[in-house]
Chains A and B, each alone.
Chain A
Amino acid sequence: GAVVSQHPSRVICKSGTSVKIECRSLDFQATTMFWYRQFPKKSLMLMATSNEGSKATYEQGVEKDKFLINHASLTLSTLTVTSAHPEDSSFYICSGVGKYNEQFFGPGTRLTVL
């Protein structure tokens, strides 16, 4: 199957700082990428849909000014958590949509805000 990478895999930051997470489709072009958030022992919650060259579509309740998404190319989408706080600590997972509408998931990024 197609490969999606995320960087970094783990990040620890201080409260009030911003953190950028990269999501790359390594062997396919993804016009659409999704960003999910997963709490411990919980399901994945879709945060936003990222389309190459256009603004992201955010799910209800997700602050677009706090979670900035940029999909600048067909192989790269970034999620920036601005002014992070401890409650933003979570496991963030991205997925890229392949040619046949199948989603390929990245390995996830564990964010810890102190």
Chain B
Amino acid sequence: AQSVTQLDSQVPVFEEAPVELRCNYSSSVSVYLFWYVQYPNQGLQLLLKYLSGSTLVKGINGFEAEFNKSQTSFHLRKPSVHISDTAEYFCAVRTGSSNTGKLIFGQGTTLQVKP
């Protein structure tokens, strides 16, 4: 069965500092990987996704993530964060053999950007 682990429940960081949000997955088949952001009382917005090809994926709002198959990781990074990046971030996996789009989410990481 597939699973996703986000290693940090909360990540406090100062504005303009770099940040990395960690995500590890487990799956016995090929996977598609996603990062979503959720602002308070809102739904999820797709930040970026890895389907195939280059392991370094660039997304919106200056975020990027690197797929590492040997370490089964898909960590999210941003070189310089803004106050407006404060939100909940979710890593998710979808099995490559499925066309149903069913996503398995991690527990979420709260990014707190301080001035």
Contact = CB atoms under 8 A, between A and B. Distances in A.
Interface in A80-94: 91, 93
B41 to A, nearest CB: 7
Interface string B95-107: 0000111111111
Contact of A1 (B36, B46, B102): B46
Interface of B: 36, 41-46, 49, 90, 99-108, 110
Nearest to A4: B43
B101 A102 contact: yes
Interface in A21-51: 32, 34, 41-44, 46, 49
Contact of A43 (B45, B102, B108): B108
A14 B1 CA distance: 38
Nearest to A108: B43
A105 B100 contact: no
A32 B108 contact: no
* Range of interface residues on A (Cβ < 8 Å): 20 to 34
Contacts of A43: 90, 105-108
A42 B45 CA distance: 17
A49 B105 CA distance: 15
Given A42-B107, A43-B107, A102-B49, 17 more contacts: A32-B100, A43-B106, A43-B108, A44-B90, A44-B105, A49-B102, A91-B41, A95-B44, A102-B101, A103-B101, A103-B103, A105-B43, A105-B44, A105-B45, A107-B43, A108-B42, A110-B41
Majority SS of interface residues in chain A? strand
Contacts of B108: 41-43
A12 B73 CA distance: 41
B109 to A, nearest CB: 10
A54 interface: no
Contacts of A113: none
Contacts of A108: 41-43
In this complex, which of A6, A46, A95, A105 has the most chain B Cβ atoms within 10 angstroms of its Cβ?
A105
Contacts of B110: 41
